[in-house]
Amino acid sequence: MATVLSWLPFASVLADSGPPVPVRVGSHDGYGRVVFDLPTRTDYQITQQGQQVVVRFTGDMTIGSAAGVPHNVLGITGGASQAELTVAPGTSLRDWRLGDHVTR
């Protein structure tokens, strides 16, 4: 199974002054998708240790909660400038940038 995480462009949003960044998910044939709806492009870093994936964003923002999880993700937790995902065993991650979109 593959997990695809998408980051739409985003700017630094002050955690105290704005709403949490929305998180959307989708299950597709052969992969799951997690999308962070961010206002402007920014840098990010993804680390994975086993089934734990941490996505850290530059800037001050709060990542919101997802309404659910795709079929190959066991859990998603938002927080201060980062999101933590627990993925199913055997899940592989991929990312790429298309214009202002980053897909993982």
Structural domains of the chain, count: 1
Nearest to 39 by CA among 57, 65, 16, 66: 57
pLDDT digits (tens, 9 = 90+) for 38-52: 767 777 899 999 999
Give the whole-angstrom CA distance, residue 4 versus residue 2: 6
Average pLDDT of 94-103?
A: 61
**Contact criterion met (CB below 8 Å) for 81 and 57:** yes
23-27, 67-71, 98-102: the lowest-pLDDT one: 98-102
- The pLDDT of residue 3 is above 50: yes
pTM equals: 0.78
**Contact criterion met (CB below 8 Å) for 81 and 61:** yes
Domain holding 19, by residue range, is 2-103
Give the whole-angstrom CA distance, residue 71 versus residue 44: 24
Q: Looking at the DSSP assignment, which residues form a beta bridge with residue 37? A: none
